[in-house]
Amino acid sequence: MKWSALLLIVSLSACKTKGPVYSISSGDILKGAHDSIITVRDAGNKITAIYDAGWDSLKGGAYLFYPNDQLKSYTFYQSRVPVYNETYDDHGYLTHTQGSPMVDRVINELNLDSAYVQVYFFKPMKTYQTLNIKINNNPSVNYALVNDTSYSNMQTVTFGISTTDLTRINMYSQIKYTDDRTEIEHVLSDSVFLIKDPHIGPAPLTAR
């Protein structure tokens, strides 16, 4: 099975003004981290940065901190390209976001008749509902998010697709989440269109 992407459409949410203050420290980030992280400290042993291992060459998150230990920014990278960013001032106000908290989606084949999809969501200060997936004309299915073990402070969904007799996959996804600072609900929607291609193998798709 060889699939190539025709089109990826993503609907994004962005914060353009300061919201309520909420303190996020390096300790808060470490609580949601795993063993595969890199911690950088200054001469006074204060944490200045936390990285997912491999963030600088493949993909992963990078956290930077102010001298007062407050989170300055979070950026998720893919192949050294930033695809999602949150920026804070030194008082804890979220001042800017860019991209979608659905930071990554990977579609891989299992065999000639099936594939699996993994979707990743940045977790801090967000409460996600279930991910709704609709493929072609089939009934939509809801998937619950679980905590991820590959990236720090991330939630994920994994599901399979039967590709038997399919020459095209139109996949539509939607998820609602609440910003825990403002209690405002947001909706993330995207669409991916794939066609069977004997000359191009499957490759990870990124949500931007």
Question: Three-state SS for 162?
Answer: strand
Give the amino acid at 93: Y
What pLDDT sits at residue 17? 45
Confidence of residue 20 (pLDDT cuts 50, 70, 90): low
What distance in Å separates the CA atoms of residue 32 and residue 155, rounded to the nearest whole number?
10
Sketch out the chain's domains with CATH numbers. 3-12+101-196 (2.60.40.1850), 26-99 (no CATH)
The average confidence (pLDDT) of the chain is 84
Confidence of residue 84 (pLDDT cuts 50, 70, 90): very high
The C-alpha R_g of the chain, in whole angstroms, comes to 18
Residue 2 scores a pLDDT above 80: no
Residue 102 scores a pLDDT above 50: yes
What pLDDT sits at residue 150? 87
Least confident of 34-38, 53-57, 78-82, 127-131: 53-57
Global confidence as pTM: 0.82
What distance in Å separates the CA atoms of residue 19 and residue 174, rounded to the nearest whole number?
24
Confidence of residue 113 (pLDDT cuts 50, 70, 90): confident
115 φ, ψ to 5°? -145, 165
* CB-count exposure of residue 12 (10 Å: 0-12, 13-18, 19+): middle
At which residue do the structure tokens 């009934």 appear? 139
Residue 110 scores a pLDDT above 60: yes
